[in-house]
Structure 1
Amino acid sequence: MILTDTHTHLYYEQDAIKRAGLIQRCRKNGIDRLFLPNVDAASVAQVYDLVNVHPDMCFPMLGLHPCSVKEGWKDELAIIRESKQQHKIYAIGEIGIDLYWDKTTLGIQVQAFKQQIAWAKELKLPIVIHCRDAFNEVFEVLEQEQDENLRGIFHCFTGNAEQAQKVISLGFYLGIGGVVTYKNAGLDKILPSIDLSHIVLETDSPYLTPVPHRGKPNESSYLIYIAQKVAEVYQTDIQTVATITTANSKQIFGV
């Protein structure tokens, strides 16, 4: 069984011994593929450091997180764009719009989002979208930019059934994480109406820790709990979930 964590910030852990433990627990639970999004120019080196140590299981993505789109964002983007030449990358991400923390930056968030979508099209790469309190704003951009080269993952999907179908209609996959294990989140009611061929699994570690470890820092090895819950929701076995969602990730990332 091979599980794929399509979105993890495992590189945040800088202690070599603790990080080795995180990787070891992943391998023990069959999580053998980790896709790493940076969040700003400074975190690019952290992503690459982990990729260099574990090239067989760690795959880099590059982008400017919407919460990092502030004064000087164009300079940040230039640095990130230049750094992509150091490694093969597998997606542009995470990118998008976040209106939870700061609504005043919406204009420049949209500019940065569109510029990075253009990069992805130029490089023929998928995008990985961060969307918080901004579904309509994100979807407006996606509809404007829609063409045969626009594809990717709607990271940390927590929307309703109608929103899920809109995402799928544009050819995007739904990133399902720890929220699916939360009792009142409602994702377990929505997913049965969505075929497994449209979802991928993720942890977003160290955030959004699944039950039974909710309240503690998340880690990629906990993807096993997300996969188990998804299997329960779809009334199937974890092997089937692993096979289909990993195949979906290979379809998206090309690896």
Structure 2
Amino acid sequence: MATRGIDTHAHLFLSDFAADLEAVTHRARSTCEAVLLPNLDLSTLPAVVQLMNAEPGFYFGMIGLHPSHVKEDFCIQLTELEKHLTAHPWVAIGEVGIDLYHDRTTFDWQAEALTYQAEWAVRMHLPLSIHFRNALEETLGLLRPYAVRG
């Protein structure tokens, strides 16, 4: 029997995949036991949930605010996302982190969003799915207080 893996990062809930999602799911099932869906922001959450409900036990959702989606309204986004923390069986908080590749001016917002979501992970006993680009030291520094000890 062939070994089957877990796809830990697939944005299959995006409209790019809508036309052939059934075929994509069929192909994924041939090689994967499960697919994890990292959320991007409040607007993508319904699509993540829809896919989780359409293929329970295969598609598993994460909840979070992606660093590239951290904008001026990030506090509102986080407040609204937080209302959904217990509504579904999330497998992680994500995709969260720091991305300084395109724009360093949002670093303070991204840092605040990351630490806020790290608190969710602690409270919900869930892992973080972390995205960082051009921000390794910054990300590690922000997450150091949340490191598992022992």
TM-score of the pair, normalised by structure 2: 0.92
Distance change >3 Å, CA 144–CA 13, structure 1 → 2 = same
Q: After the TM superposition, which residues 30-179 of structure 1 pair with which residues of structure 2 at under 5 Å, given as runs?
A: 30-148=31-149
Q: What SS is found at the alignment partner of 2:90?
A: coil
* Residue segments in structure 1 that go unaligned for 5+ positions in a row: 150-255
Aligned residues: 148
Which residue, out of 8, 13, 29, partners 1:6?
8
Conserved? CA contact 1:44–1:83, under 8 Å:
no
Conserved? CA contact 1:13–1:19, under 8 Å:
no
Corresponding residue number in structure 2 for 1:201: none
Amino acid at match of 1:51: M
Amino acid at match of 1:6: T
Amino acid at match of 1:99: L
| 1:179-211, Cα deviation, whole Å (9 max, x unpaired) | xxxxxxxxxxxxxxxxxxxxxxxxxxxxxxxxx
| 1:192-241, Cα deviation, whole Å (9 max, x unpaired) | xxxxxxxxxxxxxxxxxxxxxxxxxxxxxxxxxxxxxxxxxxxxxxxxxx
Identical aligned residues as a percent: 35
Runs of 4 or more off by more than 3 Å in structure 1? 13-17
Shift of 1:147: 3.7
* Residue segments in structure 2 that go unaligned for 5+ positions in a row: none
Amino acid at match of 1:62: I
Conserved? CA contact 2:66–2:96, under 8 Å:
yes
Output the aligned Cα RMSD: 1.7
Q: What SS is found at the alignment partner of 2:64?
A: coil
Q: What SS is found at the alignment partner of 1:140?
A: helix
Shift of 1:78: 1.1
TM-score of the pair, normalised by structure 1: 0.55
Conserved? CA contact 2:118–2:143, under 8 Å:
no
Q: What SS is found at the alignment partner of 1:56?
A: coil
| 1:108-163, Cα deviation, whole Å (9 max, x unpaired) | 111110010011000111001000000010111122332449xxxxxxxxxxxxxx
Give the greater-gyration-radius structure (CA). Answer: 1
- Structure 2 distance, partners of 1:88, 1:26, is 21
